[in-house]
Amino acid sequence: MSTWVGSDDNSLIESWGSPDSSFTWTSPSKEVNKCGFKFQKTSSTSPKIFWVEKNSPAQDAGLKKGDILISINSTEVGDRNRRNINKLYDKKNPESCNFVVKRNNELTEFNIPVKNFIIPEREYKTFTYMDGWSKSWTTISPSNETTSHSASGMCKKIMKFAKLDNQWLIVQVDFKGCG
């Protein structure tokens, strides 16, 4: 049976067909200090907010999905990895954090209280797919002769979903063995 599993906002991540494997698990509830938003960090871009929790300090302050994090507590985010970004507001000020975000090419500053939250037990699902890949390129010799080349293979795509606000959202995609 062929089924569509999911895609991101730009339809860049999608899988058709039956997964090679899948499993579901539940994470236990836990207590955390947070402002109420999640961001996505890729190697080539500044962190972008992709989810703002309903009734959270972040939503109350006016933070929006799509805002780009520029600085936290007067420290530029730059090319820091996710763990180091989280450290900027986890330990510096337990009561509130100052965020500067870029929205519509304008910088906006937010002072957001840090609130103690109970993260409820949450259900996760993981699907594994074998996906094909291919590459094509052309080389030109010194005598202007062109030669076409191509390569192809299979790789494993692992998609992790979390249930947030009764919606299944992609939270992580890993590619193993892709050329």
Predicted local confidence at residue 8, as pLDDT: 41
Averaged over 156-169, what is the pLDDT? Answer: 71
Predicted local confidence at residue 162, as pLDDT: 73
Task: Give the domains, in start order, of the chain with CATH numbers.
Answer: 30-119 (2.30.42.10), 121-176 (no CATH)
Q: What is the pLDDT of residues 62-94, one digit of tens each?
A: 999 999 999 888 888 877 777 777 777 665 456
Q: What is the pLDDT of residues 18-74, one digit of tens each?
A: 566 666 767 777 776 678 888 887 666 788 898 898 888 899 999 999 999 998 888
Higher pLDDT: 21 or 8? It is 21
Cβ-contact 101, 111 below 8 angstroms: no
pLDDT band at 115 (very low <50, low <70, confident <90, very high): confident
Averaged pLDDT of the chain? 73
pTM of the model: 0.50
| Separation CA 132–CA 154 (nearest Å) | 4
- Residue whose pair of structure tokens reads 């996760």 in the numeric block: 124
Q: What is the 3-state secondary structure (H, E, C) of the chain?
A: CCCCCCCCCCCCCCCCCCCCEEEEEEECCEEEEECCEEEECCCCCCCEEEEECCCCHHHHHCCCCCCEEEEECCEECCCCCHHHHHHHHHCCCCCEEEEEEEECCEEEEEEEECEEEEECCEEEEEEEEEEEEEEEEEEECCCCCEEEEEEEEEEEEEEEEEEECCEEEEEEEEEECCC
Averaged over 100-107, what is the pLDDT? Answer: 94
Averaged over 103-110, what is the pLDDT? Answer: 94
Predicted local confidence at residue 87, as pLDDT: 73
Predicted local confidence at residue 80, as pLDDT: 76
